[in-house]
Structure 1
Amino acid sequence: MWKDINEKSKKATEMEHTMSLWDGLRSYPKAVGWSLVVSTAIIMEGYDTTLLGSFYAYPAFQEKYGEPVASGGYAIPARWQTALGMGTNIGVLIGVFINGFLTERLGYKRMMLYSLAAISACIFVPFFSPNAPALLIGQIMCGVPWGVFSTLAPAYASEVCPVVLRGYLTTYVNLCWVIGQLIAAGVLDGLQTRTDEWSYKIPFALQWMWPLPLFIAICFAPESPWWLVRRGRVNDATRAQKRLSNYSTNIDEVVAMMIHTNEYEKAISEGTSYLDCFKGSNLRRTEICCMVWCIQNLSGSPIASYATYFFLQAGLASSNAFALNVSQYAFGFVGTVLSWFLLTRFGRRTIYLNGLCVCCVLMFLIGFLGLAPASNTSIPWATSGLLLAFVFVYDLTIGPVCYALVSEISSTRLRGKSIGLARNFYNILSICFSASTPYMLNPDALDWKGKVGLFWGSISFLCVIWTYFRLPEPKGRTYEELDIMFENNVPARQFKSYKIEK
């Protein structure tokens, strides 16, 4: 029996290597469709995380949740900007760890359904919150299911599709994030002239438009066959694989490859706990996953999260600041779509490293412009233009490719926990930067304005050094091949050319 599985696994591996993009789309159209449906839940997270940073400039929101200021009117104090930003990330952090524990027990499908039901209930809290503390509680509660979505979606996408489609479907997660941000920016721009409480309540209420249709759709989704194999449910895995592919695919060979990979990983590392992520070759894989996701923050993207506020502090008028905020997410959308064309031609490492280098240069340019005299009226527009260029390059390279890398680098048996750890290291950094960014930009605190680019450029440069020496190239490799290369401790810069003896 094991000899038969081994032979079928080899045939499936050969099929994966010879499959073209068109062959993958033709053989796995349903896998593509279901992956897109599951990943769409990320739109909700991208949508909401954009709201608060822009609400700080809304008069009605300032009056409801802010405090009077000496110059007249109301403002959200830096401490509450920090707390609300941290609240969302704390909730997401909790959700990511919950996902790591429960998804491997319940399965991707059931975990997604429970999370959609939870977010539908949690939205009531921020919508009806009477004060800032209640709003903070609401953000923490909503963050828990968002944390599940952020780690479950790329893991599911990486497990239901063949190697040739893996990069596209995992990077689609970033596109969903950008779509959510773009929708939020458009809604906020359209409501900025309102002066009543509905200027911020309508954006909160619009979050209810996603969970119900997604819940209904996912009720009919197939479970990940890789998860079913890990649970010993081989017959169910075969049925799930049939639902994900068409009849031209040799289902038995594909499932045999899953069984063979799972048994190989069990042989080199028996456990599936969080502790096992730090043992043997998995330690290196965990380091790479965590750093790849953390660099999303360390490259300077926290400024983009406060773009509207940054534009205002740079010297632009409120109307121009909101218009540019919409533009940045449009740039991000276009960048993510174009990243799929880069993935066709270049490897993940090449795209990620070069994108990070460009982002580093752009941050330094923003920083140097921040040193110019305040009397120069062209500086705010130049600084804002460079930030838009940063967003475009980020969403062309670092943003989407990160999802492909963390999904491919992690082992199949530890995927949920590895992605969870990586996402939570990212979330911890997000909490730190949510606490510090308002103080960097606030005129009553450090008031760095554009000079903040010097800070981020310096950190980005250190990330470039790490990426060059530590980030491997997983493009075109099956999960078993990646297991072998990590077990053999192949240097990162040799992954692309490394030959595996059959």
Structure 2
Amino acid sequence: MAHDGTLASEAKHAADAEQEMTLLRAVKLYPKAIFWSALLSSTLIMEGYDLSLLGNLYASKEFNKKFGTYSESAGKHVVSAAWQSGLSNGARAGEILGLLLAGWVSDRYGYRITTIGSLILMIMFIFVLFFAPNIQVLVVGEVLCGIPWGAFQSVSPAYASEVAPVVLRPYLTTFINMCWVIGQFFSAAVNKGSNTRPDEWAYRIPFAVQWVWPIPILVGLVFAPESPWWYIRHGNREAAKSSLLRLTSRNDPNFNVDETIAMIEHTNELEKKIKEGVTYLDCFKGVDLRRTEIVVGVWLVQTLGGQNLMGYFAYFLTQAGMDPSNSFSLSMAQNALGIVGTAGSWFLMSRVGRRTIHFSGFCCQLLILITVGSLSFSQANNSIWAIGAMLIIFTFVYDFTVGPVTYSLVSELSSTRLKAKTIVLARAAYNASNIFVNVMTNYQLSSTAWNWGARTAYFWAGSCLLSTTWVFFRLPEPKGRTYAELDMLFEHRVSARKFAQTKMDPFSQQLDDNTASTSTEKP
């Protein structure tokens, strides 16, 4: 198909219509896209559940009796810091493998098939966790389960960002964070319910609950449409059009499916002109090197801002002296507030830029971490409750700002042709950094290792300060931009702090004119 001025004209008309679209009209026009994206994103409930589950099980007496060893100094059975790190990092190592596989599989076979295959593997691998006779097999189970979790991490933000217009994009991508928090809430609730059991079901029930999600999601995804962007990248315009029609409502007479397909084609051709390749190596070439650095950085700072303490919340509080039952109750309150925070972030993102939210969130987290560390020196009997309250506030701040906006940023700032692979690289870096974070946290909190208690917060306040500095200088503002506009902003090397003020028209000239475009500062 000849990509001439007519294509550019149709693409511009669709882009203008998309940017002028109100939230209410977008919801009415794309109800099916919202449903399918939410269903696919719900796969992350399982990962949020299990990774939080491990941190909570370390506070379980029966789990420690089964998989730990008796500690003379602690006077009870405990899982050593080394094995805690092995369990947590086993899952992370599996996720890195799953991410790399999913990046290739989703490019070749699509997001839907990749997710369906990963769900089948998930159902199989949960058996290893459930029947694990010792901690060694439990580690193997975590590695295996990490493979489909890694695929879910890669596919969910890519699919959510491609099936909806600009105005819906932040809601669908940040819903992924909501799924994480829902999983963490269920983990705390199940642990609280089973923690008092005097037998092996105290930890087997929490593992078995993981079978609840994959089957209904799997049945639903059999009927899900593929992303129209994926079809365009594979040169199948008719399939892309059919997919877009399945994602939208037929009741809007003003929606022009051909113009929207033209916009997707134009953006794809624009990116092909800027750079031809779609391999992992291309993520580190030319203008995409900066985009990869930013997307990787956004996910790295998410691990270094002290967020790891949320996953170890119940364990953190028990190590600081709180009764396990009370710590699980507070953990449920923490995650419930996290759900409220994520919902609140949708309201915030419709009015405030992503960069502003991200930076402000890190500043608040830094202050809270310093406060928690300082409270550790208090001799008051109720200081542990004050620490618990501050960590709950930390969770709310994180899920109101940094947590959800991260998913919006990584899906918007990567190019559409390299989106799956850029997200894979970023999430793999995230998981690799989490290996370091988990080892440090386990040794910092374990009574058989460094036993820092609440003073651990000081260490993460330092890494949070470094993260805040990076965000200020390197993170651009993508709010309200089409993918074509973002392509041109990166192509013209606009600095991160000027993204919001710079005006771009990627449709002003034909693609064969070297993708030239004018850029001016907004008055």
TM-score bracket for this pair, using the shorter chain length: over 0.9
Task: From 375, 382, 388, give the equivalent of 2:386.
Answer: 382
Task: From 65, 69, 86, give the equivalent of 1:67.
Answer: 69
**Inter-partner Cα distance in structure 2 for 1:172 and 1:362:** 25
**Inter-partner Cα distance in structure 1 for 2:161 and 2:139:** 34
Residue 123, structure 1, aligned to residue 98, structure 2: no
Q: Please, which runs of 5 or more residues in structure 2 have no aligned partner? A: 509-523
Instruction: Give the structure 1 partner of residue 443 of structure 2.
Output: 439
Whether the 8 Å CA contact 1:57–1:309 is kept in 2: the answer is yes
Offset at 1:471? 0.7
Offset at 1:102? 1.1
**Inter-partner Cα distance in structure 2 for 1:53 and 1:246:** 43
Instruction: Give the structure 1 partner of residue 323 of structure 2.
Output: 317
SS of structure 1 residue aligned to 2:290: helix
Residue 351, structure 1, aligned to residue 353, structure 2: no
Indicate the structure with greater helix content. 1
Whether the 8 Å CA contact 2:88–2:438 is kept in 1: the answer is yes
Offset at 1:4? 2.1
Offset at 1:255? 0.5
**Inter-partner Cα distance in structure 1 for 2:386 and 2:301:** 25
Larger deviation: 317-326 or 186-195?
317-326
Q: Deviation per CA, 1:126-164: give whole Å up to 9, x if none.
A: 111100000000000001000100120111000000000
**Inter-partner Cα distance in structure 1 for 2:357 and 2:315:** 30
- Any residues of structure 2 matched to 1:39-188 within 5 Å, and which? 39-70=41-72, 72-188=75-191
**Inter-partner Cα distance in structure 2 for 1:341 and 1:237:** 31
Instruction: Give the structure 1 partner of residue 302 of structure 2.
Output: 296
**Inter-partner Cα distance in structure 1 for 2:320 and 2:205:** 29
Offset at 1:378? 2.3
**Inter-partner Cα distance in structure 2 for 1:97 and 1:478:** 27
SS of structure 2 residue aligned to 1:499: strand
Offset at 1:26? 1.1
Q: Deviation per CA, 1:269-292: give whole Å up to 9, x if none.
A: 111111111111111111111111
Whether the 8 Å CA contact 1:223–1:240 is kept in 2: the answer is yes
Q: CA RMSD in A?
A: 1.1
Instruction: Give the number of aligned pairs.
Output: 500
**Structure 1 counterpart of 2:178, which letter?**
L
**Structure 1 counterpart of 2:241, which letter?**
T
Q: Deviation per CA, 1:248-273: give whole Å up to 9, x if none.
A: 22100000011110011011111111
**Inter-partner Cα distance in structure 2 for 1:117 and 1:79:** 31
Residue 498, structure 1, aligned to residue 502, structure 2: yes
Offset at 1:80? 0.8
**Which consecutive aligned stretches of 4+ in structure 1 deviate over 4 angstroms post-superposition?**
none
Larger deviation: 225-234 or 436-445?
436-445
**Structure 1 counterpart of 2:408, which letter?**
A
**Structure 2 counterpart of 1:449, which letter?**
G
- Any residues of structure 2 matched to 1:448-459 within 5 Å, and which? 448-459=452-463
Instruction: Give the structure 2 partner of residue 404 of structure 1.
Output: 408
Q: Deviation per CA, 1:447-470: give whole Å up to 9, x if none.
A: 211211111111111111111111
Whether the 8 Å CA contact 1:181–1:329 is kept in 2: the answer is yes
Instruction: Give the structure 2 partner of residue 254 of structure 1.
Output: 260
Offset at 1:172? 0.1
Offset at 1:72? 4.4
Offset at 1:370? 2.0
**Structure 1 counterpart of 2:54, which letter?**
L
Larger deviation: 310-319 or 401-410?
310-319
**Inter-partner Cα distance in structure 2 for 1:59 and 1:379:** 25
Instruction: Give the structure 2 partner of residue 487 of structure 1.
Output: 491
Instruction: Give the structure 2 partner of residue 276 of structure 1.
Output: 282
Larger deviation: 442-451 or 208-217?
442-451
Task: From 202, 206, 214, give the equivalent of 2:205.
Answer: 202
SS of structure 2 residue aligned to 1:303: helix
Instruction: Give the structure 1 partner of residue 28 of structure 2.
Output: 26
Distance 1:451 1:73, change over 3 A: closer
Whether the 8 Å CA contact 1:99–1:152 is kept in 2: the answer is yes
Instruction: Give the structure 2 partner of residue 193 of structure 1.
Output: 196
Q: Deviation per CA, 1:274-333: give whole Å up to 9, x if none.
A: 111111111111111111111111110111111111101222122211111111111111
Whether the 8 Å CA contact 2:295–2:426 is kept in 1: the answer is yes
Whether the 8 Å CA contact 2:241–2:257 is kept in 1: the answer is yes
Whether the 8 Å CA contact 1:27–1:245 is kept in 2: the answer is yes
SS of structure 1 residue aligned to 2:198: coil
Q: Deviation per CA, 1:412-438: give whole Å up to 9, x if none.
A: 000001111111111011111111111
Larger deviation: 354-363 or 66-75?
66-75
Instruction: Give the structure 2 partner of residue 223 of structure 1.
Output: 226
Q: Deviation per CA, 1:88-126: give whole Å up to 9, x if none.
A: 111111111111111100101110110011101111101
Task: From 427, 433, 443, give the equivalent of 2:431.
Answer: 427
SS of structure 2 residue aligned to 1:164: coil
TM-score for both structures, normalised by structure 2: 0.94
**Structure 1 counterpart of 2:21, which letter?**
M
Whether the 8 Å CA contact 2:354–2:409 is kept in 1: the answer is yes
**Structure 1 counterpart of 2:495, which letter?**
P
Q: Deviation per CA, 1:15-54: give whole Å up to 9, x if none.
A: 1111111111111111111111111111111111111111
**Inter-partner Cα distance in structure 2 for 1:133 and 1:150:** 26
Whether the 8 Å CA contact 1:314–1:383 is kept in 2: the answer is no
Offset at 1:69? 2.2
Offset at 1:73? 3.8
**Inter-partner Cα distance in structure 2 for 1:42 and 1:481:** 30
**Inter-partner Cα distance in structure 1 for 2:43 and 2:460:** 30
Q: Deviation per CA, 1:466-496: give whole Å up to 9, x if none.
A: 1111111101000000000000000111111
**Inter-partner Cα distance in structure 2 for 1:371 and 1:447:** 14
Whether the 8 Å CA contact 2:305–2:464 is kept in 1: the answer is yes
TM-score for both structures, normalised by structure 1: 0.98
**Inter-partner Cα distance in structure 2 for 1:90 and 1:332:** 27
**Inter-partner Cα distance in structure 1 for 2:36 and 2:363:** 35
Residue 394, structure 1, aligned to residue 401, structure 2: no
